[in-house]
């Protein structure tokens, strides 16, 4: 086999209102795993030039089973959600301070100021 499982199709939508075919699992030490380019979550648009649009799941499975030894896949990579501001550097660091780093000290300062004000009023 090709070393991966698929989900989706017109009769078994994996994502609501989307009948596309997706990679659900890559089998360790299978052909796709050893090749390294395919990822779980990728949308498969075509196999060996045959469009997978509007196919039932079992028809897509048949195309994969009969693909032969030389297989060409056209895929659409799943977009990874980004944490951080728009100019995210991609090095694992966000571009600014976390909101809590600003709010917590600010809140502590405000509470302290109110406490001092109340203590001062009591002495008068």
| Residue 117 domain flag | no
| Residue 33 domain flag | yes
**pLDDT value for 43:** 96
| Residue 91 domain flag | no
Distance CA 15, CA 2 (A): 23
Distance CA 2, CA 92 (A): 33
| Residue 105 domain flag | no
| Residue 122 domain flag | no
- CATH number, domain with residue 48: 2.30.42.10
| Cβ proximity of 19 and 10 under 8 Å | yes
pLDDT along the chain (124 residues), means of 10: 93 93 94 93 95 95 91 86 52 53 68 76 70
Host domain of residue 46: 4-76
| Residue 112 domain flag | no
């Amino acid at each position: 086999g090709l070393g991966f499982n698929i989900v989706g199709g017109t009769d078994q939508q994996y994502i609501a209102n989307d009948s596309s075919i997706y990679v659900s699992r890559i089998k360790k030490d299978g052909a796709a795993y050893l090749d390294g380019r395919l990822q779980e979550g990728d949308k498969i648009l075509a196999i060996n030039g045959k469009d997978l649009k509007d196919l039932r799941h079992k028809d897509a499975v048949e195309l994969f089973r009969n693909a032969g030894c030389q297989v060409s896949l056209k895929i659409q990579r799943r977009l990874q959600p980004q944490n951080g501001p728009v100019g995210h550097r991609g090095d694992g660091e966000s571009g600014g301070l976390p909101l809590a780093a600003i709010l917590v000290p600010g809140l502590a300062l405000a509470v302290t100021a109110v406490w001092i004000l109340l203590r001062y009023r009591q002495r008068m």
